[in-house]
Structure 1
């Protein structure tokens, strides 16, 4: 048996999560395999695999998710599913830094709930792992009580946090008598699951299955043929939609839910072992996404949204009524009226959303405005602002620690609120802040905000074109911190984005930082296209989503390396920090 070491790592919110580590046996390790257990369990339930894999050239790691096994926290609870997905990223970062293992040399194997976490992580963070194996992913848990999910939602809204006990008996997880008995006797098994995690599991799984074409990591899917715990149909839809050309699906007849703990698991282990070795025998394989504006599923989606609907049709009538209701709402709601006047994607609208203070005519107008500002897209925008401020402060701290002057440029700042408010409480102030925008309205409002915050000695606001490569490259003094937020999402053309990024790369010296945003998903993308107008002379606001992988490739092609990322709980907006590399 391989030697095992026990350790912990720190999450972003200071929790010490437990993990097991089986070092590679050979003198020249090929890489690492990361194991993620199913719901209710812990890393000890997967420990047998470290030997059964028979992969001595690979280090093996297995964590206990927060609230499970020997990791701290209320049993079966996490603040959110998004928090647990971020824990995955932190775990991978820890392994890469602690054991000098490149992310490109990591393979991931995950079961059930763990497989949903990994699928969401790969979709949202676009890591450059070598491959992943998902065993019986819990994309849709079988709730045998009618309308159980709706009931849980209503109870959650009323009661807040509460827990749901697992109904599954171990004899319906595996045919292996030893596994059944060990499950019954294991004091670390966590039968309860917090309702927010159960509901978040459904919501995240639906998003990931729907948008699985964004996933380009080579994937093997193992489906237990006699699974009592989760439905098969979403697993097949996920496989069909996967965006990687390297994918395998294996249905294991008679297998119960604990795929890698089943009586005949050697069949599954043999398949995943071969899949992993094949991936490490070839170079890292990823589709090039730089031409996605010309061909690809997000281009097809945007084209469909731009196509008019027949007026005399159910959908045509529905969206016509929606536009009419927005017009009526604009008579009472200040926010909706501002969107109609300046564009719902304008800097003025964003500044209004950031302030989040409902205004309108009378009580009804304020209620309409409150509902408008509470839309999930605007909630995501405000979370994006918080993430921008967080990573901006982190980048400024990095520059300060290295005694590098902090010179900030934001090439499309809107009113500049998120940049200027990020300076509150910062120990080391920037030497200079240059805010730019194409809009005279934004330049005027931004200059006023600079004066209100008494920052005229360090900050200036000028008119500028964010897509003029040469103009950006000539900026003086040369910035050490570049920001582009909420801009590229409005323009589908990757060539335009490439020119802008090239200008920033020419302006920012090696070692400097770039803060950029993305929008890999939006649950209201058709509402936006059919009912809202943009800042461009009242045209429909039609967005082409960029997957995180596509956005990261554009940034990398310009000469930057992504080092950190944040994403909201709904998977809508990302904020990433990259460092300028090379000469």
Structure 2
């Protein structure tokens, strides 16, 4: 079953939600947070694979993305993104009750779920983060960051259009074609969004000791968008809670890559192990 709806957050921002669920009671539910510039419908086929394993998926278009409200690529603060995750988790609690929940994020969403794991309290059993934005491969020189920070404070909602090569997402040509033809995808980034996400990445690296729940961190070692070495460094600091897997020669979108079946199997095995521990 597939259900869509809009919901107003506490600050009146309207988020577009999608829920995929099996016909019977699911054994778990995933809260999925997408990456920058994209939207939740790009995960339709990926979500259906979890449904076939009796796992529901609840996701939403982030503010300023897809069918949610807000100027494209603009946020008031990173805390708003954390609040939106809290809002989505409350939606899941309302719709699914006490069914075990997992938080799953990709790219910028992967960085968001790591920050949520570190900075917020929640009842989810664990976190899955794929190709997280901890450090970006094409970040501007550090000498420019104070200048960008000043711009973020002076004109926080001003956005610039970034150049992007869709071939960096995956080795699969059809992925690039669909991405480039998708009218809901945008390439706008505000100074506030970039600076806050940049700072959030280094906050993750400095606060690994605050990870107190199971974490599955997945990254392709040929990712040209986010830095797989940052994921490795972070995972080495959380050996008691983290499981880290690198995929040889894989690009950014592991769920759309040549290794996607292995990625799905790894996620499913880890998730089922966490469910077994929770019994």
- Pairwise same-fold verdict (TM > 0.5): yes
Shift of residue 158, structure 1, vs aligned partner: 4.8
* Cα distance between partner residues in 1 of 2:171 and 2:208: 32
Per-residue deviation, 1:75:
0.5
- The answer to whether the 8 Å contact 2:155/2:191 transfers is no
Shift in CA distance, 231/148, structure 1 to aligned 2, threshold 3 Å: farther
For 2:140 and 2:86, locate their aligned partners in 1 and report how far apart those are by CA, in whole Å.
35
Structure 1 residue 270: deviation in Å?
A: 1.1
Count of matched residue positions in the alignment of Structure 1 and Structure 2: 278
- Name the residue aligned to 2:57: 60
Q: 1:278 to 1:168 in 2, by over 3 A?
A: same
Q: Contact between 1:20 and 1:63, CA under 8 Å: does it hold in 2? A: yes
Of 6, 21, 29, the match for 2:26: 29
Preserved CA contact (<8 Å) 1:31 1:101 = no
- Structure 1 residues 160 and 78: alpha-carbon distance in aligned structure 2, compared to 1, 3 A threshold: closer
Structure exhibiting the larger radius of gyration computed from Cα positions: 1
Of the candidates 159, 172, 179, which is equivalent to residue 168 of structure 2? Answer: 172
C-alpha distance in 1, partners of 2:91/2:161?
Answer: 32
Gapped runs of 5+ residues in structure 1? 285-583
| TM-score, scaled relative to structure 2 | 0.93
1:130 corresponds in structure 2 to: 125
| Offset from partner CA, 1:259-304 (integer Å, 9 cap, x none) | 22223311111111111111112217xxxxxxxxxxxxxxxxxxxx
Query: Is residue 113 of structure 2 the alignment partner of residue 118 of structure 1?
Result: yes
Q: Is the 8 A contact 2:117 2:127 kept in 1?
A: no
Write the distance in 2 (CA, Å) between the matches of 1:213 and 1:56. 33
Structure 1 residue 157, shift from structure 2 partner: 4.4
Equivalent residue in structure 2 for 1:203, among 199, 208, 223? 199
Structure 2: which 5+ residue stretches go unaligned?
A: none
Match of 1:140 in 2: 135
> Per-residue displacement from partner, 1:95-125 (whole Å, max 9, x unpaired)?
202x1332x7101221010011111112111
Q: How far is 1:153 from its partner?
A: 2.3
In structure 2, the partner of 1:219 is 215
Alpha-carbon distance in structure 2 between the residues aligned to 1:170 and 1:36: 20
The answer on whether the counterparts of 1:33 and 1:107 sit within 8 Å (CA) in structure 2 is yes
SS of equivalent to 2:12: coil
Work out whether residues 12 and 87 of structure 1, in 8 Å CA contact, stay in contact via their aligned partners in 2. no
Write out aligned runs for 1:380-459 (5 A): none
Where does residue 161 of structure 1 map in the other structure? 157
Q: CA deviation at 1:85?
A: 0.7
**CA apart distance, 1:148:** 4.2
- 1:384 — aligned with what? none
Match of residue 8, structure 1, among 6, 11, 14: 6
Deviation at 1:69, TM superposition (A): 0.5
Gap change, CA 1:246 and 1:145, over 3 Å in 2: closer
RMSD: 1.9
Corresponding residue number in structure 1 for 2:181: 185
Q: Is the 8 A contact 1:211 1:241 kept in 2?
A: no
Partner of 1:45: 42
* Rounded Cα–Cα distance in structure 2 between residues aligned with 1:15 and 1:84: 11
Q: Which residue of 2 aligns with 1:278?
A: 273
